[in-house]
Chain A
Amino acid sequence: MPILILPPQPPQYLFPPEADSDQDDEKVFLDEDGDFVRMASGSAQKRSNVISIVTPGEVVTSDPQWMRGHGTYLLRNKDSSGGGEDPDGEMEGGEDAAGVSGGGASGGSIIATVAGTVQKVNKLLSVKPLRARYAPEIGDLVVGRITEVQSKRWKVDINSTLTAHLLLSSINLPGGILRKRTSTDELQIRTFFSEGDLLVAEVQSLFQDGAASLHTRSLKYGKLRNGYFLKVKAGGIVRSKSHIITLEAANGAGEVDVILGVNGYVWVSKKVTLQAPPGGESITRLEEEASEAIYSNVNEDIAPITRREIARIGNCVRAMVRWNVRVDEEVLNAVYSSALEFDEIGIEDEGSSGGGGAECLEGEMGRRVVQAGMEKVREANLKAGGMIE
């Protein structure tokens, strides 16, 4: 069946976040009117504490004991002579703050500026947005696309509110890492990167306005080749130890690199090793050799089998983000291998196509693959735990 048309599903079931074990028996989902509905799942009916979602402009609290954090602002009341009622109890449950008029001994109320969940750390109150653009931080590994070429810099789209800058002085120039940039380089700036090119870089610093300045001064970074670009939501990939993952692809497809940009841009490509020159030369020599080819716009030969696995890994990443699962080496490996298994056994029952389409991990199929992968991770963890004991 080439087309699958589903009715809209009210309970948008996502895997609960693992970290907050005290919240995972409760799910928040959108009902058909687009409202958030809270539902305690299964046996956990006893819990009365709820996840509260606030919308922009909603008063989170008018209790003066809280400090405002990200995603909120403080609105001062006109007449701050409000009575000294007991401010406690206003914040219970975190959501009943509609009673603005009553509280506010110091005459201020904290109002949300984004739609999201309220978070409290000691006395700091912040709202964590449900969906946001990427906010760059120094040291982040990002994948970006050149949008504009200027005389000494490139503008790079990194899925942030502002485009990032990549200065000509912060890339590896061909002909040695220690070379100074010259006016010739400025004139041929488009030979390094031109509009549309993809690159992987690190956030070097932040400007006053929050825009990022990138650098590619490492052999790990630079222009991207030999693969496929995909985009997931910015929060889908969290900062972790390593963002460049190498998977051993199945069916003899060789190794596949996955670059998980913190900004939600992902690059899946065939692993290309730099061949060391035969004479066993120094590392700087290697760098010089490499940098000649660093800005080439030509793919290597990629076998069809590798392309197939690249597509499959891309689907895995997409499905994992779609179903709210942390993307890292361990989980990605597990999900990938369960995707392979699902493809092998084929899908007999409903909900998926026979024939060539079984690899596609959209919709329900993706959910099952991710679930199977998570199951694997859990088993492995249990086993590891057992061994330690």
Chain B
Amino acid sequence: MAPIQASQQTSTPLSPVELSYLHTSLTLTPPIRPDSRSPTQFRPLIAESDILPSTNGSARMIWGDGGECIVGVKAEAEKNSAAPGGSKDWIEINVEVSGQRDDDAFLGMTVAESLLVPGSGVLERLVLGERFHWKVFVDILLLTPPLSHPATLLTLTTYLALRNTFLPKSVSEVAEDPVFDDDWGNALPLYPTDKIPPPITLLVVSVGENIFFDPTREELAVGDIILAVSICGKKVVGVRTLEGGNGGVGRAVIKRVIKESCQVAEEVFGSLNSVEEN
């Protein structure tokens, strides 16, 4: 994977004694994380939404280790095409990492994958009558890549931006060409809170029998396996392994990862939703 991963780890590897110290600390019961967090605790985040006036929805998030990300969402009405891509093309995601080549599609794929998982309900919300649909452009700007893997930062910010996206109200019939209400005050949220929300991806690292959320770079370095868990609503919709683990993992651990991810994600969704209220 990994041009991004590689470039973040251009700095030399950790020394053998550090790795052994961290690994032992993290395999203890209860585990001791280097910054004394509990296994499910996240570093404090700073987030705000609705920061870019010229977009339909936007958000900014600053990660605990200094990573900063801005997401803007714009939408336009488009005629349904018979192209084979189908509804997958309705969302276009573009990730730009400042200071890096922009022809690396990897990160965009990570976000897109989690957004487009079947059953997430993201695409269904974009239908505009029989012949039209919204085409959504999600532009992600990673101002400072975090020291750990950026997947969580990107998806959380994208979630916040999508939640914050308001589109003009359609006043036309299903079979007509779409006509919209002129008043932005009547705009409707693309993803209302009571409906199923866009998915997010959490990073989980397992060391021995223990699992950790929001791993730091050091924790990633000693992890047996690094998982990107996509969660939509209350269920896990995808689990992927990321490169970099140096061990295996048992079934029981995976089960626990899935179970705990659901619980943690619920809290994360709760906190993210409260950002918009502020």
Is the pair B275, A196 in contact by a Cβ cutoff of 8 Å?
A: no
Is B272 in the interface zone, CB < 8 Å from A?
A: yes
Give chain B interface residues in 5-56, CB to chain A under 8 Å.
Answer: 11-18, 20-22, 24-25, 28, 30, 32-48
Max chain A Cβ within 10 angstroms of own Cβ: one of B32, B36, B46: B36
Q: How far is the CA of A5 from the CA of B15 in the complex (A)?
A: 33
Is the pair B44, A355 in contact by a Cβ cutoff of 8 Å?
A: no
CB distance from A161 to the nearest CB of B (A): 15
Is A36 in the interface zone, CB < 8 Å from B?
A: no
A359 touching B271 in the complex, CB below 8 Å, given contacts A4-B45, A7-B278: no
Is A197 in the interface zone, CB < 8 Å from B?
A: yes
Is the pair A6, B45 in contact by a Cβ cutoff of 8 Å?
A: yes
Q: How far is the CA of A299 from the CA of B42 in the complex (A)?
A: 29
Is the pair B25, A307 in contact by a Cβ cutoff of 8 Å?
A: yes
Main secondary structure of the interface of A (DSSP, over half): mixed
Is A224 in the interface zone, CB < 8 Å from B?
A: yes
Is B268 in the interface zone, CB < 8 Å from A?
A: yes
CB distance from B158 to the nearest CB of A (A): 15
Of the four ranges (under 10, 10 to 19, 20 to 34, 35 or more), the interface on chain A belongs to 35 or more
A4 touching B271 in the complex, CB below 8 Å, given contacts A302-B21, A304-B32, A362-B43: yes
A362 touching B64 in the complex, CB below 8 Å, given contacts A5-B47, A195-B12: yes
Is B267 in the interface zone, CB < 8 Å from A?
A: yes
CB distance from B35 to the nearest CB of A (A): 6
1/0 per position for A326-357, CB-CB distance to B under 8 A? 00000000000000000000000000010111
Of the four ranges (under 10, 10 to 19, 20 to 34, 35 or more), the interface on chain B belongs to 35 or more
Residues of A near B39 (CB, < 8 A) are 356
Q: How far is the CA of A8 from the CA of B24 in the complex (A)?
A: 36
Is A315 in the interface zone, CB < 8 Å from B?
A: yes
Q: How far is the CA of A227 from the CA of B11 in the complex (A)?
A: 20
A227 touching B21 in the complex, CB below 8 Å, given contacts A6-B44, A7-B47: yes
Across the interface, B33 reaches (CB within 8 A) one of A8, A311, A355, namely A311
Residues of B near A308 (CB, < 8 A) are 32, 36
Across the interface, A3 reaches (CB within 8 A) one of B22, B33, B42, B48, namely B42
Across the interface, A297 reaches (CB within 8 A) one of B17, B43, B45, B46, namely B17
Give chain B interface residues in 98-143, CB to chain A under 8 Å.
Answer: none
Residue of B nearest to A198 (CB): B15
Q: Give 10 CB contacts A-B under 8 Å.
A: A1-B271, A2-B268, A8-B60, A145-B11, A198-B15, A223-B17, A302-B21, A356-B39, A356-B41, A357-B37
Residues of B at under 8 Å CB distance from A?
A: 11-18, 20-22, 24-25, 28, 30, 32-48, 60, 62, 64, 213, 264, 267-268, 271-272, 274-275, 278
Q: Would you list the 10 A-B pairs with minimal beta carbon distance, nearest first?
A: A356-B38, A359-B36, A363-B44, A3-B42, A2-B40, A357-B38, A196-B13, A5-B271, A357-B41, A197-B15
